[in-house]
Amino acid sequence: MCGIVGLYALRQKVPVEVVVKALDVMKERGTPHGAGLALYNPSDKPRIKAFTRQPVGNRYVKLYNDLYDVELSELIDIDGYIYLNSKWIDVYKVVGWPADIIKTYGISGLSSNIWLGHTRYPTNSPGRLPYYSHPFTAGDVAIVHNGDLSSYGSNINFIRYRAHVKFTGNDSEAIAYLLSFLVRELGVKEAVEELMYGRRYRWARLDGPYAVSFIIGGPKPVFGAFVDPQHFRPLYVGMTDSMLIVASEAAAIKAIEPRAAVWALRSGEYIIAEGDEVHGNFKKRYVYPELPQPPEDAIDASQYDAVSLAPVVRAELQKRGEVKVVNVLGHRYLGNGMSSGTLKVWGVVGNASANVMSGGVYFVYGDVQDDFGDAMNGGLAAIFGNAGDAVGQAKRGGEIYVYGDVGSRAAIQHRGGVMVVGGSAGKYLGEYMGGGTVVVLRATNNEEVGNMIGRGMVGGEIYIRGEVPMDYISPVDKRALERYAKSLLIDGLAGVEDYTKLLDGAEPLAVEQRELTEEEIAKLSPYITKFNNIFNLNIKISRDIFTIIRPKK
């Protein structure tokens, strides 16, 4: 869980209230057990902050009970924990919600052109002390992280060999120290790549799920963000001509800048801003059709919090049969359990929506975030934008049409019905798929589909327009499998027949790259026609090469 946000503005300073508003949109990702902010805020001398049990000096804030946040004029021995020592960065941490930061420290109106924010869902360290709240710093580096590091032990050993560091025990803290060391050694771009892959410093590699945003302070500050190579945590990017925003949810970006073009980073992608330049290995995936104007006679979602809107919509659907909702900004659970009627939504639909839908028609004029259409049994959902991760998870029936792209693990455990994607798809498409049909047209966006396609697939079929590299499809380390099978044969633990079966199992999928047959065209055409009618397109599937993936019979 956890919600992170990062902001880099070229020509303006952004007040703290705007950053907190973005974190509040992601409130369901957090708890009252930790929140924090970091900002670029140069000073004449290093700013040293610590948590102590007694007030020290003249500048301190009493947090609760006998805990104080103190600011020191110099480094001295204290009975406490120093969490900041930087001339360029300032940090505020609390046990509480993001809004509590402003109240606790009295920083209303504080502004900066670079921000990090975090709302915490504690997983591997306590939530009872602000020590454990993000952001974490190491000198002039500050980071926020969503995820859990399984590499924490090796990471801190790597750091301890190079510096004397007092750790809180929170795994995320290690990222700040690693990034600080690697930036000095390699530069920013190479440091980020080293964290992901550990090519030069093996024990510096991060393992486990992570999405990270960072500030590197200095006369010319650097801002950036990156996601793990397996894309276990989401991170969206929003851009205008003067602002770069990253966040765990697309809605948080829209809360800061409604005009931002928003898309999701994919596995192992990073984005870096320095001066007026933005660079990295990311690709822009801003794909939208022309949207109808929102109606005036609609429910205004801005009057409801993230979860209270869903029951209102459900009740109105039962009463009227057709419901329109505007100003949706990360509102969750919309359309869950929907069995009939028509639901039309304008905005960014929050996580876990259209779950267990069994009937009716659901139009989203905008984006949907993660886990849309989970365990869907019937009905039709059309997304006039992009979809986040795990769309159609465990889907058993019904139809999902997406104008643009889908994220990682689309159609994971897909069991029935149809999903048609107008653009591209991230990694692990159709993972553990057991039935149904998935079509990726690569028409509205012809970017290559991510790898690990059909991993663990046992049923159904996937059609991807164009020739997909064969090693992208259910890849198996055949060399390692051959060595294992041979060792069993030599040791007498397997016979020749077992050896052959094991090697045959290395290719569990039947993959063809060709034009569709008349039978396949007849089967898919009703859904392609429906896709075209919904989005006012004219996509044809005859005479094009498709990569067709099915389990071996």
Q: Is position 70 within any domain?
A: no
Between the two ends of the chain, the Cα-to-Cα distance in Å is 39
The answer for residues whose C-beta is within 8 angstroms of residue 329's C-beta and 6 or more apart is: 25, 251, 254, 255, 301, 302, 347, 348
Same domain, 33 and 142: yes
Same domain, 245 and 337: no
Q: Is position 54 within any domain?
A: no
Each residue's pLDDT tens digit, 12-27: 999 999 999 999 999 9
d(CA 150, CA 209): 8
The answer for residues whose C-beta is within 8 angstroms of residue 65's C-beta and 6 or more apart is: none
What is the DSSP annotation of 212-238?
EEEEE-SSS-EEEEEE-TT--S--EEE
Same domain, 248 and 330: no
Count of residues making up the chain: 553
Same domain, 309 and 193: no
Same domain, 316 and 271: no
- By the 8 A CB rule, do 27 and 306 touch? yes
Q: Is position 200 within any domain?
A: yes
Nearest to 16 by CA among 241, 237, 256, 218: 256
Same domain, 241 and 309: no
234-272 as b/e: b if 16+ CB within 10 A: bbbbbbeeebbbbbbbbbbbbbbbeebebbbbbbbbbbb
Q: Is position 55 within any domain?
A: no
Same domain, 369 and 431: yes
- By the 8 A CB rule, do 84 and 115 touch? no
- With the CA atoms of 247, 168, 82 and 129 taken in that order, what torsion angle do they form, in degrees rounded to the nearest 10? 70
CATH at 420: 2.160.20
d(CA 138, CA 180): 6
Side chain identity at residue 393, one-letter code? Q
Same domain, 264 and 314: no
Same domain, 310 and 378: yes
Per-residue pLDDT of the chain (553 residues; tens, 9 = 90+): 899 999 999 989 999 999 999 999 999 999 999 999 999 999 999 999 999 998 987 889 999 878 999 999 888 888 888 999 999 999 999 999 999 999 999 999 999 999 999 999 988 778 888 989 999 999 999 999 999 999 999 999 999 888 767 788 889 999 999 999 999 999 999 999 999 999 999 999 999 999 999 999 999 999 999 999 999 999 999 999 999 999 999 999 999 999 999 999 999 999 999 999 999 999 999 888 999 999 999 999 999 999 999 999 999 999 999 999 999 999 999 999 999 999 999 999 999 999 999 999 999 999 999 999 999 999 999 999 999 999 999 999 999 999 999 999 999 999 999 999 999 999 999 999 999 999 999 999 999 999 999 999 999 999 999 999 998 997 666 666 677 777 877 888 777 776 676 666 666 899 999 999 999 999 999 999 999 999 999 999 999 999 999 998 7
Q: Is position 294 within any domain?
A: no
Q: Is position 52 within any domain?
A: no
Q: Which of 250, 280, 310 is the last residue of a domain?
A: 280
- By the 8 A CB rule, do 365 and 343 touch? no
CATH at 174: 3.60.20.10
3-state secondary structure of 273: strand
d(CA 528, CA 368): 21
Q: Is position 164 within any domain?
A: yes
Q: Residue 190: which domain range?
A: 3-42+88-280
CA 289 vs. chain centroid, Å, equals: 23
Same domain, 308 and 263: no
- By the 8 A CB rule, do 344 and 299 touch? no
Same domain, 169 and 315: no
Same domain, 309 and 257: no
CB-based burial of residue 42 (10 Å sphere; 0-12 exposed, 13-18 middle, 19+ buried)? middle
Q: Is position 248 within any domain?
A: yes
* Peptide linkage before 135 cis (omega within 30 of 0): yes
Domains in the chain, number = 2
Each residue's pLDDT tens digit, 522-543: 999 999 999 999 999 999 999 9
